[in-house]
Amino acid sequence: MYKIINDPIYGFVSIGSEFILELVNHPIFLRLTRIRQMGCSSVVYPGAQHTRFSHALGAMHLMKSAIESLTRKGTKVSEEEKEAAMIAILLHDIGHGPFSHALEKILLNVHHEDLSLFLMHQLNAEMDGKLNMAIKMFTGEYPRQFFHQMVSSQLDMDRLDYLQRDCFFSGVIEGSVGASRIIKMLDVHQDEIVILEKGIYSIDRFLNARRMMYWQVYLHRTGLAAELMLQSLIKRAKYLLEKGHPLECDPDLRFFLEHSISKENFESDPKILDHYLQLDDFNIWTAIKAWRNSGDRVLEVLVDGILNRKIFECELSSEEINVQKIKSVNKSLREKNFSEEEIAYLSMHGKVTNAAYTSDKQNIKVKMKDGGILDISNASDLSNIEALTKIVTKFYLCQPKVVS
């Protein structure tokens, strides 16, 4: 339908080929226009309304730039490889469900990457194998590893786009990344992505920005509280339906609330996919609003909290939450006549880490001016890379405000 799309971050994003255009206009992909990238973050950052659709197009745009940057430095890339790499990143998140990460593993027990791969195979079957190379790049089976690394690694186009995009829309400028500078500094060495020495400062900034986004946004305590509330709300709805409590709900969402779906079910029963493809943020919101008078007190507290921004109190701490504190919270809830069974949905504790943002993926490699290849933590005595990439665990205790 369109060949060039306006993007507030990159100006114009070009759809590279007829085939990519066909994918972009496929209903499976268009579903991403109805799934917001940042789940519950808009409760804290009201500008963060951008969709998975925009992110996917943006990451594809960066992939194109990155490949052009590599070819300018002498790496040969065929037109077929270029298109495949663009498709691999375009579709990398196609499996995401409503509220992205926030409801992952809650609505159904399947990881979004498995769903993405599953949907890619669906599309591939429908399109006579034209996605073969893209799928290999996505899974890492394609021999030239740098393609996979640009799809999924410490410096992939996914995070270059999402950090930039999330920062842009949330207005947390401390998270700005400078993706275009990083891309200009990419090179290939022995089929692996490396960064030129001159780009070390850009990487340092990138890692800092990532750390900033992690603390200021992704694990912001109010956003985290909203996410925990939403998860409780869905779990409670599942519980009530199981108990036979009637709840208004559209049939597609109902299907997932009433069944426990594993990866295997998904693969064996095509009807599940039909239901899944109808799910997006809107089903959840409409259900939440419908449940405001559900007759279940717990559900109503959660619904009221989410709709009317009565976000639970959330304490974040470097140390494990004191058991006495939890007991005291639960006691207060009991005094408000919530039963033990109900309290489990209102008093939430656990831990979160930034692992998703740092990952155990291999470190970034730097190509020095003398041609040598160094791990980034050795490439510079300036960067405190260790500090920037370590996994941090935080413990939380989350509860209704009326309690505290």
Residue (53 or 256) nearer to its own copies, CB: 53
Cα–Cα distance, 348 to 227 (Å, whole number): 11
Considering only residues 22, 192, 197, 204, which one is a binding residue for its own copies as defined by CB under 8 A? 204
| DSSP structure class, residue 198 | G
CB 229 within 8 A of CB 305: yes
Encoded tokens for 162: 């999402």
The count of residues in the chain is: 404
Cα–Cα distance, 351 to 345 (Å, whole number): 16
Decide the pairing of beta strands 192-196 and 365-367.
parallel
CB 138 within 8 A of CB 88: yes
Residue 181 as a binder of its own copies (CB under 8 A): the answer is yes
Nearest approach in angstroms of CB 209 to its own copies is 9
- Within 6-35, which residues bind its own copies (CB under 8 A)? 6-9, 11-12, 25, 27, 30, 33-34
Residue 1 as a binder of its own copies (CB under 8 A): the answer is yes
Please work out, in degrees rounded to the nearest 5, the angle formed at the alpha carbon of residue 372 by the alpha carbons of 368 and 373. Answer: 85
Encoded tokens for 173: 């400028």
Binding segment for its own copies (CB under 8 A), chosen from 88-96, 130-138, 280-288, 336-344, is: 280-288
Cβ neighbors of 111 (< 8 A, separation 6 or more) are 104, 105, 263
- Within 330-349, which residues bind its own copies (CB under 8 A)? none
Residue (57 or 237) nearer to its own copies, CB: 57
- Within 384-403, which residues bind its own copies (CB under 8 A)? 384, 387
Residue 54 as a binder of its own copies (CB under 8 A): the answer is yes
Considering only residues 282, 349, 363, 395, which one is a binding residue for its own copies as defined by CB under 8 A? 282
Bridge partners, residue 367, by sequence: 196, 373
Residue 184 as a binder of its own copies (CB under 8 A): the answer is yes
The count of chain residues that interact with its own copies, using the rule CB under 8 A, is: 67
Considering only residues 105, 121, 132, 171, which one is a binding residue for its own copies as defined by CB under 8 A? 171
Residue 321 as a binder of its own copies (CB under 8 A): the answer is no
Residue 251: other Cβ atoms inside 10 A: 9
Instruction: Please identify which residue in the block is written with the tokens 């809830």.
Output: 333
Residue 307 as a binder of its own copies (CB under 8 A): the answer is yes
Residue 77 as a binder of its own copies (CB under 8 A): the answer is no
Considering only residues 152, 153, 202, 294, which one is a binding residue for its own copies as defined by CB under 8 A? 202
Q: Which amino acid is at 78?
A: S
Residue 323 as a binder of its own copies (CB under 8 A): the answer is no
Dihedral angle, C-alpha 35, 36, 37, 38, nearest 10 °: -130
Bridge partners, residue 6, by sequence: 12
Q: In what order do the strands lie in the sheet with 186-189?
A: 186-189, 192-196, 365-367, 373-375
Cβ neighbors of 402 (< 8 A, separation 6 or more) are 336
Residue (117 or 253) nearer to its own copies, CB: 253
Considering only residues 19, 118, 285, 357, which one is a binding residue for its own copies as defined by CB under 8 A? 285
Nearest approach in angstroms of CB 344 to its own copies is 25
Closest CA to 227 of 364, 101, 381, 396: 101
Residue 275: other Cβ atoms inside 10 A: 18
Q: Provide, for the chain, the percentages of residues in helix, strand and coil under a 3-state DSSP scheme, each rounded to the nearest 5.
A: 55, 10, 30
Residue (168 or 345) nearer to its own copies, CB: 168
Considering only residues 19, 118, 215, 357, which one is a binding residue for its own copies as defined by CB under 8 A? 215
Residue 248 as a binder of its own copies (CB under 8 A): the answer is yes
Residue 355 as a binder of its own copies (CB under 8 A): the answer is no
Nearest approach in angstroms of CB 84 to its own copies is 19
What is the binding site for its own copies (CB under 8 A)? 1-2, 4-9, 11-12, 25, 27, 30, 33-34, 36, 42, 44-47, 49-51, 53-54, 57, 168-174, 176, 178, 180-181, 184, 198, 201-202, 204-205, 208, 211-212, 215-216, 248, 250, 278, 282-283, 285-286, 289-290, 307-309, 311, 318, 381-382, 384, 387
